[in-house]
């Protein structure tokens, strides 16, 4: 399960970084492989730390990370599912 999540994450990271740096595909792939190995050494859950390791490595190279993808605010999404107009922390106590 962790290997599957890690593989999907690496593909997403590869796509994001290649979109930002289209002429650096081979370097990005090598960087991802290196940081995946490092993440596996450091943690039982390498998919949780891989993005941070990759971003730090990119910064060491003097490059900027890609702009983050737009995300929906989790609490708002949950509060809408609960049909509560307030943040989740306020709804739970009600």
pLDDT tens digits along 18-29: 999 999 889 999
Q: How confident is the model at residue 38 (pLDDT cuts 50, 70, 90)?
A: very high
In a domain? residue 72: no
Q: Token digits for 42?
A: 């450091």
In a domain? residue 32: yes
pTM of the model: 0.67
In a domain? residue 6: yes
Domain of 56 in residue numbering reads as 2-60
Residue 31 near residue 51, CB atoms below 8 Å: no
Residue 46 near residue 68, CB atoms below 8 Å: no
What's the pLDDT tens digit per position in 40-54? 999 999 999 999 999
In a domain? residue 65: no
Radius of gyration of the chain (CA): 17
Helices (H) and strands (E) in the chain, counts: 5, 0
In Å, what is the CA distance from 80 to each residue of 65, 73, 91? 32, 11, 11
Secondary structure (DSSP) of 12-44: HHHHHHHHHSTT-HHHHHHHHHHHHHHHHHH-S
For residues 2 and 13, the model is more confident at 13
**Number of structural domains, the chain?**
1
In a domain? residue 81: no
């Amino acid at each position: 399960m962790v290997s599957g999540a890690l593989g999907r994450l690496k593909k997403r990271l590869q796509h994001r970084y290649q979109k930002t740096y289209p002429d650096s595909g081979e370097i990005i792939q090598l960087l991802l492989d290196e940081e995946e190995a490092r993440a596996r050494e450091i943690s039982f859950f390498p998919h949780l730390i891989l993005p941070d390791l990759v971003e730090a490595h990119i910064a060491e190279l003097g490059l900027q990370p890609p702009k983050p993808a737009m995300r929906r605010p989790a609490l708002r999404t949950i509060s809408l599912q609960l049909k509560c107009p307030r943040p989740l922390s306020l709804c739970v106590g009600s």
